[in-house]
Copies of this chain bind each other. A is one copy, B any other.
Amino acid sequence: MPSSRSQDSGGIGVCAAEQAYRRIKDAIVGGDMTTGFQSLEPALALRLGMSRTPVHEALVRLQDEGYVELKARRGMRVTSLSHRDIREITELLACLEVEAAERTAARRPPPADVMAFDAAIEEMDRALEAGNITAWNDADYRFHLLLIESCGNRYLIDTAKRFLEQANRFRHLTSAHRKPPVYSNVNHAAVVEAIRRGDAQTAVEIHRAHKRRWLRELDEILTMIEPDAPVPVDSRPGSANDDGMR
């Protein structure tokens, strides 16, 4: 249901507008275009090796999704995520994921699907033992993606994925400041256990409690980092205007 044109996904022949959309979004989510980064359409078009038309289309779409602001004459600006933004995105995502957990459990997915959850959790365990934060993040991301994608409601899937992507913009920020997330692994395992049993009620309760706890921790992290103001999404908050990609 989300964006795709002609070619279905990531192949060779994707049209320029789609490429522009993905490359810019990836740059923002991946931290290569930092919060506050500004650029003009001609510059972007030059960098992406295409004309302004597809770039313009991509920017409008990204504005709809909240990734950039288009200000007259100033071109695009990567939206800054205030503490409030981060909290609100996390809250919404929590709500959506809890619903997804309930539906997934109620659907009683086939054992093969549940094994994918197990695999993700095992990898989270391994990464935690090894102290490999990046690997843990990847596995955790995959777990949440699995949970979302197996809920059966395509609109819920699209929406939750959209905000999971948004959340990736500040994931590294929080993961740098949080204590080793042992309880995440335990909770996730318990949710999977409930899913395996088809126990939707328990899945909801555990996942909701987990998300509540995470929100409290997030609040602590945020107040620790800085009183408020737009959050530095990477290590160079000042270097906005010059080139900003790296």
Chain A residues engaging chain B, CB cutoff 8 angstroms: 1-3, 5-6, 17, 53, 56-57, 60-61, 63-66, 70, 72, 85, 88-89, 91-92, 95-96, 99, 153-156, 158-159, 163
Instruction: Tell me the nearest residue of chain B to A103, going by C-beta.
Output: B91
Which listed residue (B3, B64, B85) contacts A2, Cβ 8 A?
B64
Selected contact of A155 from candidates B1, B72, B88, B153, CB within 8 Å: B88
Chain A at the B interface: mostly helix, strand, loop or mixed? helix
> Known interface pairs A60-B61, A95-B99, A159-B159. Does A153 touch B88 (Cβ–Cβ under 8 Å)?
yes
Contacts of A64 in B (CB 8 A): 2-3, 61, 64-65
Give A156 to B89 CA distance when docked, in angstroms: 8
Are the C-beta atoms of B89 and A155 separated by less than 8 Å?
yes
Are A66 and B156 in touch, CB under 8 angstroms? no
Q: Could you tell me if B6 and A88 are in contact, using CB atoms closer than 8 angstroms? A: no
Q: How far is the CA of A159 from the CA of B65 in the complex (A)?
A: 10
Known: A1-B66, A64-B64. Contact between A6 and B72, CB under 8 A? Answer: yes
Question: A153's contact among B1, B91, B158, by CB below 8 Å, is which?
Answer: B91
Given A60-B57, A64-B64, A96-B95: A156 touches B3 (CB 8 Å cut-off): no
